Structure 1
Amino acid sequence: MKKKMLTFAILALTLGIIIVNVWKPDNKAESTIQQEETNSTEQIGLEPGNIPPDFELTTLTGEQVQLSDYKGKKVILNFWATWCPPCKAEMPHMQSFYEKNKDNDIAILAVNLTNTDKGKASIREFVNEYELTFPIPLDKQGTVGPEYQAYTIPTSYIIDSNGLIQEKVVGPMDEAIMEDLMNSID
């Protein structure tokens, strides 16, 4: 009996993960409004070649950041949390990459999924422990992560200097991967 319940639980969990990763909410009205605001023929969305949905968040240091302000720079838009082991593995690579490239029109925005995390104090502790110096926007309301389909973390979007998504990376990256991705885009 226990084996059947365990099998059922595993199947239910697997089905739930598949549904969450496949389901895409209908944001056509919102995308249309953003499309009109951009006065561009490019489409807003998460596919390569699209303009990523804009957002404005407050960083851990209290500064307001808006994704669209980074147009003209190559951007690694990363979604993470302090409790995530692959995120912990990725952060030293991200910091090293940032230190080497911050003066080369390359930016890192590491959006903390704050509504799923252990509170601002643990985020600060994490940032201090890993000596992170790039901006850490806080997704306190839990709206930006889902909008970017960051259901498995870390999830990163590689955005070129024209403000267009070039790639989505699910899972941790090391410094060599970041270097290759940034060198492959304009």
Structure 2
Amino acid sequence: MIRRLTATALLLVLFSVVLFNVNAKEEQDGPNEYNVSGNTEQTGTAITPPNAASGLQVGDVAPDFTLENLEGEEVTLSDLKGKKVFLNFWATWCPPCKVEMPEMQEFHEKYGDEVEVIALNATASEKKQEDVFKFIEQNGYSYPVLLDPTNQVNDEYQTITIPTTYFIGTDGKIQQPRHIGPMTFDFMEDMKDKLD
């Protein structure tokens, strides 16, 4: 028992040292990355390789996909053509995601007839798929939640950091730069008005 505790403590110390060194190097050499565990003021959660792709760009056609929602019904993105869509990538373990979700709910309640808010869960990163159902039910979120059990759609959209939101216009194209980090209600209103 003591050996296990000692080994666990040693691993935590080593992990902390590595994380500190990575963060210190990033501050000197490139974009900031943060350890957001427990700190909801950070703008995203990720481990990003140095040669990571930059994601889809404004003007790109949003890649089509079909995923199941929490009720087991299939939802296909291209079926939403003609509507404005906020495609938000998130996970239950992501503190910044938890910050924006009440604001997304408020936005959905006010503008759900104008903008389709789709919360696409990085299900392969969850401990258990049931955690997603519990989280949504406990918090009373009513906007559509889709499950990505293999993270195929997350990979296709190159969502290295979550939360990440893509803004898709009625033409099925990405019309505004993707947003990395939690969104506020005011920001979502602004994005709604910028989409055609």
Q: Is the 8 A contact 1:82 1:118 kept in 2?
A: no
Task: Give the corresponding residue for 1:70.
Answer: 80
Shift of 1:9: 7.0
After TM superposition, list the pairs within 5 Å mapping 1:26-175 onto structure 2.
46-104=56-114, 106-166=115-175, 167-175=177-185
Distance change (3 Å), C-alpha of 1:91 and 1:9: closer
SS of 1:19's partner is coil
Q: Shift of residue 11 of structure 1?
A: 3.5
Task: Tell me how large the CA RMSD over aligned residues is.
Answer: 2.5
For 1:50-100, what per-residue CA distance to the aligned partner results, in whole angstroms no more than 9, with x for missing partners?
A: 101111101111010011111111000000000000000110000110011
- CA positional deviation for 1:7: 6.4
Question: Contact between 2:69 and 2:147, CA under 8 Å: does it hold in 1?
Answer: yes
Count residues with an aligned counterpart. 162
Is 1:23 aligned with 2:53? yes
Structure 2 letter corresponding to 1:109:
I
Return 135-144 or 117-126, whichever deviates more: 117-126
Partner of 2:8: none
Shift of 1:18: 4.2
Quote the offset at 1:155 in angstroms.
0.4
Deviation at 1:23, TM superposition (A): 3.4
Alignment-mate amino acid for residue 85 of structure 2 = V
* Long gaps (5+) in structure 2: 1-12, 31-46
- Amino acid aligned to 2:194: S
Instruction: Letter of the 1:135 partner, please give it.
Output: P
TM-score of the two chains, using structure 2 as the length reference: 0.75
Alpha-carbon distance in 1 for matches of 2:79, 2:125: 26
Structure 2 CA distance for partners of 1:99 and 1:8, relative to 1, 3 Å: closer
Runs of 4+ in 1 over 4 A off after TM superposition: 12-16
Instruction: Supply the distance in 2 between the matched residues of 1:99 and 1:174 (Cα, whole angstroms).
Output: 14
What is the identity, as a one-letter code, of the residue corresponding to 2:124? N
AA partner of residue 116 (structure 1): S
Tell me the distance in 2 between the aligned counterparts of 1:72 and 1:8: 45
| 1:37 aligned residue | none
The CA deviation string for residues 122-150 of structure 1, in whole angstroms up to 9 with x for no partner, is: 11111012211111110001111111111
The 2-side partners of 1:175 and 1:113 are apart by 23
CA distance in 1, matches of 2:144, 2:22: 39
- Change in 2 beyond 3 A, CA 1:119/1:72: same
CA distance, structure 2, for counterparts of residue 8 and residue 158 of structure 1 = 32
Residue 10, structure 1, aligned to residue 13, structure 2: no
Following the alignment from structure 2 to structure 1, what is the Cα–Cα distance between the partners of residues 22 and 97?
26
